Amino acid sequence: MRQKQSSAAAVAELFEHIVRSIHTSSFTLGLNPAQWNALRYLHSASDSSRSVKAFARFQMVSASTASQTIAALVRKRLVTKERDESDGRGVVLALTPRGRDMLQRDPLQALAEAFAMLDDPALTAAAQIGADVARNMFLVKNGKDVNLSNADCAADEREDPHHRR
């Protein structure tokens, strides 16, 4: 048991090193990591999810924090805010052409390229490990039993705002 704990700690340190590297490289081209996340989110979000409120839920931050991030991107002319035609009170966010161009220089591409260098079985394993670790982190952070059944985990994942449906 002791060896597994130290091995898990070593893997955790390796992941932390990778995450720190990505985070540090995300302070580039006049953007910070939260702003890069917002650009990525808006690029892949459905029309109904392109709002400050939905972005805040996805990032698990306050509406105020999300609003500040979006406001900075609007000032930088990377995002626009438009009235929601289906709900006159709502606002729909959209990437500008400049925002889409900025994503071509996304610092996360280095990690994507590193994953692309893996063979198919390793990439499939990495995807499964990433999903399992994300699920377990959600469970640990929420005080849930990490040894839950798959059905219980599926129910918990539906509650997780990062879980893609």
Q: Which pLDDT tens digit goes with each residue over 134-148?
A: 999 989 988 876 665
DSSP state of 45: S
Question: Cα separations (Å) of 116 from 23, 113, 129, 133, 147?
Answer: 20, 5, 16, 20, 31
φ/ψ bin of 153: left (φ > 0), alpha (ψ from -120 to 50), beta (otherwise): alpha
Q: What is the pLDDT of residues 65-108, one digit of tens each?
A: 999 999 999 999 999 999 877 776 778 999 999 999 999 999 99
Between 2 and 33, the higher pLDDT residue: 33
Parallel, antiparallel, or unpaired for β 79-84 and 87-95? Answer: antiparallel
Number of H helices, E strands in the chain: 8, 2
Separation of CA 57 from chain center:
11
Each domain of the chain, given as residue ranges in start order, spans 2-105, 118-165
Amino acid 2: pLDDT: 59
What lies within 8 Å, CB to CB, of 38 at 6+ separation is: 55, 66, 69, 70, 73, 79
pLDDT tens profile 100-134: 999 999 999 999 999 999 999 999 999 999 999 99
Taking only Cα atoms into account, the Rg of the chain, rounded to an integer number of angstroms, comes to 18
**Predicted confidence band of residue 154 (pLDDT cuts 50, 70, 90):** low
Quick: pLDDT tens for 27-62: 999 999 999 999 999 999 998 899 999 999 999 899
The confidence score (pLDDT) of residue 83 equals 83
Q: Which residues pair with 91 in a beta bridge?
A: 83
Domain at 2-105, CATH from 1.10.760.10, 3.40.50.970, 1.10.10.10, 1.10.3720.10 = 1.10.10.10
Q: Going by C-beta distance under 8 Å and a sequence separation of 6 or more, which residues neighbour residue 138? A: 144, 156, 157, 160, 162
